[in-house]
Amino acid sequence: MIPVQDVADRTVAVLGLGRSGQATVEALVAGGARVVAWDDSAETRAAAEAEGLVLADLTRDAAWDGVSLLVTSPGIAHLYPAPHPAIAQALARGVPVDNDIGLFFRSYATADWDRFDTAPRIVAITGSNGKSTTTALTHHILLEAGRDAVMAGNIGRGVLSLDPAEDGQIVVLELSSYQTDLARALTPDVAVFTNLSPDHLDRHGGPGGYFAAKRRLFAEGGPDRAVVGVDEVEGRYLANQLAEGPADDRVIRVLSAGKPEAFGWAVMARKGFLSEWRKGRQVASIDLREVKGLPGAHNHQNACAAYAACRALGLAPREIEAAMSSFAGLPHRSQHLGQIGGVAWVNDSKATNVDSAAKALQAFPKIRWIAGGMGKDGGIAALAPHLGSVVKAYLIGHSARDFALQLGDTPHEIAETMEAAVAHAAAEAEPGETVLLAPAAASFDQYPNFEKRGEHFAALVAALESPTARG
């Protein structure tokens, strides 16, 4: 673990004892802090107390005697729609509030680095969609190229559970808006912004607050290199704020349209090809069309962002190209499960909003689409321009009937359950078609999270190939 610095002999409160909260407690204790903790779940509190952790109800005045810092888990609201009562106590008392990401950035560098030949570096990746794939791909490329790299944050391990840095090590972090919004220290060497689309708006008080949370990754510490997706206006605004002019190659722009040669450094995805541009000249190109782990234009954009991050770290184009060819993709993110009778089955359970679902719908030509769950504001009305490839939709979950009303002339049925949707799609699909799970909705009506939803879909698909299913 990474012991937290500057907390020795201080009393630190920890709110939330999930994965990151438990790692935070251990790292604080290793740094010499006295820890008191609280979790809203009685079951979690009982387990923590059995482990010897000191508990104190942080919603009450008596718990705050001597507390000099509150560390909160990212899922707990600290501003909108209203601060958690314990955080409200800290704000009222002037007690600093931080999270594990902030503690990591202030504790990762140590005096041991003076003996390293190469200083460790941190790549931090944020954005609405594609950040998990971009993070995993960046990590994969670094490992394949022989670099010492670890992956953590919103994917993989909690940041404070990492081992102390090694000579030349690279940490690749996926950071959500919940994590960047509150961290008191954010100092990556390379920061990546994939894109922005409406999400978590209640938590951030609207789209401006959501963008501001992402922007903090670039504004708080000033990375040496910034990789910025500029297909949306927010990305163009961010790149404009960071660069001294179009020729400033400290900002690497990632785009799918426009003129990459106009910038000092740019990486472009167009018609299945990645191209790198430096000072008005194309210097490298990669054919992404046959990389099975990166299907569709949206994944080609993710590939561009990972490519740019790795180039910023000094990797050569040929190293990156070789590594990309072996990338298998992530579970639940355009995950190719295989073919049955000439029909492809793809699990994109992570497509929990219309923007990510739209990208999935554009990745395949003939789609049997499984959608539905706990729909978000606006439903799927915004997907109307992307339904041309849908042969038929199979709607499940709480919002199935609402979604049906927004499909217009697109053939559809209300299947209600994943079992029915998979069975009906399997019976009706023809060779050359793709059965795609891209729900455009949250999972909480039928599943605890999108991973369990995707796992259920994958298990049902696997059963289609079993001897019992064939018989």
Binding site, annotated residues for ATP? 127-133
The answer to whether the beta carbons of residues 264 and 278 sit under 8 Å apart is yes
Q: Are strands 225-229 and 190-193 parallel, antiparallel or unpaired?
A: parallel
| CB under 8 A, 24+ apart: contacts of 77-84 | 77/203, 78/181, 78/182, 79/181, 79/205, 80/202, 80/203, 80/204, 80/205, 80/209, 81/202, 81/203, 81/205, 84/15
Question: By C-alpha distance, which of 317, 342, 344, 347 is closest to 331?
Answer: 347
Q: Binding site residues, as ranges?
A: 127-133
- Cα distance between residue 268 and residue 253, in whole Å: 8
- Cα distance between residue 3 and residue 24, in whole Å: 9
Read off the tokens for 437: 């799970």
Distances (CA, A) of 341 to 327, 418, 470: 25, 20, 11
- Cα distance between residue 389 and residue 432, in whole Å: 12
State the sign of the Cα–Cα–Cα–Cα dihedral 366, 368, 373, 377: positive
Distances (CA, A) of 154 to 98, 129, 201, 390, 444: 16, 13, 19, 32, 19
Angle, CA 40 vertex, CA 132 and CA 182 arms, to 5°: 45
Is residue 331 classed exposed, middle or buried when 0-12, 13-18 and 19+ CB atoms within 10 A define those classes? middle
- Cα distance between residue 151 and residue 171, in whole Å: 6
Residue 298: CB partners within 8 Å, gap ≥ 6? 129, 130, 334, 356, 359, 360, 362, 363
